[in-house]
Amino acid sequence: MVLDSGPQSYPQQHPNDFGNGLPRRRGGKKGSPCNGLRLYPFLSPSLSLESDSSSPAQTTRPPSKASCLRNPEPRPPPLNFCPAIPSPCSWMRRSESTCAVNRRDRARGQIRSAASLPHIPRARAAGPSNRKSPCLLVALRPVNIEVEREKFFQARFAYNPQFQYEEPVPEAVLEKYKEASDQFVSQAIGIINAVLEKYGSYESFEATNGGKLLSKCQIWSIIRKYMQKEGCSGEVVVQLTEDLLSQAVMMVENCRPTLAINLSGARQNWLEGMLRHEIGTHYIRGVNNAHQPWHSLEGRKQYGLKPANPTEEGLASLHSVLFRKQPFLWRAALLYYTIYQASHMSFCELFQDLDRYVQDVGVRWEYCVRAKRGQRDTSKPGCFSKDQVYLDGILRILRHRQTIDFHLLAALGKVSYEDIDHLKKFGALDKARIPHFMQDRERYNQLLDHIVTTNCLKDEELEQLLPD
């Protein structure tokens, strides 16, 4: 179930304060352009959110898709127009796209597997560009991905894709993420096997636990109720789209915090978990961070802060599954394992290796592309290890869950759990928000214990892996 603390008494923060304190670029611009979106460091995009909702929304007839049927060509979602809809819930700004899912071989309206990990934005069409440097997510997406995918499947998985990129991938980025860690491989395999032993396959687990695909009206209803629980009604622009490759992504657009949700991945039992991940963790910690003296890069250096990750993504990933009856950490575990294997395998070898865990060849392709992004010749061993941060953060938080003050972890903003004791005397806590699902400390700790048990983790093992 979802803990509901009733009407919130948190002070309302003006939406424009969301990015206050972030370093601005010359000319007053914040963030970096990425396909028309401005992404902030503390708005980490979710790769493939495995979320849950404790109660089904009321069945409502979905809006007509006649316009889509008349024009089957995909159109980009509206990026600069988020009209307020005059309705009983007009306080929530809405934006909808009736575009098709960005996959040529996927039928319209077909649900996308939550095991899918395709948050690599579309490459721009060839042509002149005034951008001096590409957004990282764009730079890491091969421009010939569809061509190489077709070659790979036509060759019956015996062809190593030769990826091309619109612009050279920054060497500093590739250098930073070229090494994979094996520290938690054993735990990753244990989590994966726990799911397979219970359900036979992840596809079976998803079908059993995910619930039905929601209509737009049902999604709006769940979002509206969640925003009320967190006391942030009217602060976040919400976009519903069928042209998003990930399940959801939090971003800043037109100086407003914006949450884009993929209609094709919004399942009845997982949607609220996605909201806890994006709003309850990334957004609220971002709002709290704006009030802190370390809200800027200079401030972080002054206070000697550790990087926000892996704490940030580990905490958000835990919140995604927090209220599931079976809170398996499949996605984080398989990501970790896949990247480790990619570091010493070719693309074909990796694809074959994942056959034991992922039956859907389309989903398996996406895991492999994600692990091999940045490479040109995928016949060579190599990986992009950034996605190991999820399981890394999860296990570190679970290891120290009995000593972490989770209220302070939320209130102090984008900080590591290791910095809490150092920062608590300097923090501006009078305006801090605590997510509604974290307010009952005892219940919250019980749910974390349940995650440990469900995933066959042992405290003694975690203590040995991560000694004080």
Return d(Cα 299, Cα 426) in angstroms, integer: 12
**Residue recorded with tokens 């990796």:** 350
**Residue recorded with tokens 């984080």:** 332
Describe the chain by its helix, strand, coil percentages, rounded to 5: 40, 10, 50
313 catalytically annotated? no
Bridge pairing between strands 248-253 and 94-96: unpaired
Q: Which of 50, 96, 230, 278 is labelled catalytic?
A: 278
Contact 315, 409 (CB under 8 A): yes
For residue 242, give the nearest of 387, 62, 38, 31 by alpha carbon.
62
Starting from the edge strand earliest in sequence, which strands make up the sheet with 248-253, in order? Answer: 32-34, 37-39, 248-253, 256-262, 237-241, 94-96
Burial class (CB in 10 A: 0-12, 13-18, 19+), 85: middle
CB atoms within 10 A of CB 122: 15
Any idea what DSSP says for residue 24? B
Catalytic residues: 278
